[in-house]
Amino acid sequence: MAKIQFKRFDILKELDSLTAGISDSRFVQTRPNAVGEQMKDFLLLRLPQAMRDRGDTYQTTYGQIVIFVRDVNGMENTFRLEQMQKQVMEQFPIVNELFHAKSPVLLASASDGAGFHSLTIQFNITILKSTF
């Protein structure tokens, strides 16, 4: 019986590469503290759910790409959030040798209390074990 592997880091690296043209600032799993140069926008790339092994052929999990855009005059920058949302959604479906990502769902916008509003795009991921 082979050891079970979870390609979490490889998936996050691929998501980072795919979203490089959307924002210069991308972070994995957690966002940084608000220090130094102020960003206008950034992406947070997450795998916040359990990874489940489904036998000999595949694994499943969920991914999230969270879009953060700095508020303008204390208000949500709806235009830029919408623009970035469209750019992220254009990536789907994501199909490569490691995983397939599909069925994106848009979760509600929220203020983070630190001058940004965010949108979360959550999606299904099927990890192909043939690449192990």
The answer to whether position 44 is within a domain reads yes
Check whether the bond before 32 is cis (ω within 30° of 0): no
- Identify the burial level of 33 via C-beta atoms within 10 angstroms of its C-beta, where 0-12 means exposed, 13-18 middle and 19 or more buried: exposed
Cβ atoms of 65 and 57 within 8 Å: the answer is: no
pLDDT value for 4: 77
The answer to whether position 2 is within a domain reads no
The answer to whether position 1 is within a domain reads no
Residues 108-132: tens digit of each pLDDT: 888 988 899 999 999 999 999 875 5
Q: How far is it, in rounded angstroms, from Cα 103 to Cα 126?
A: 11
pLDDT value for 105: 97
The answer to whether position 15 is within a domain reads yes
pLDDT value for 34: 62
pLDDT value for 108: 85
Residues 32-84: tens digit of each pLDDT: 776 556 889 999 999 988 999 988 889 999 999 999 999 999 899 999 999 99
Residues 41-50: tens digit of each pLDDT: 999 999 988 9
Residue 116's domain is classified under what CATH number? 3.30.2000.10
The answer to whether position 57 is within a domain reads yes
Domain interval for residue 56:
8-29+39-131
Report the domain count for the chain: 1
Q: How far is it, in rounded angstroms, from Cα 91 to Cα 117?
A: 22
Q: Is the pLDDT of residue 1 over 50?
A: no
Q: Strand pairing partners for 105?
A: 122
The answer to whether position 52 is within a domain reads yes
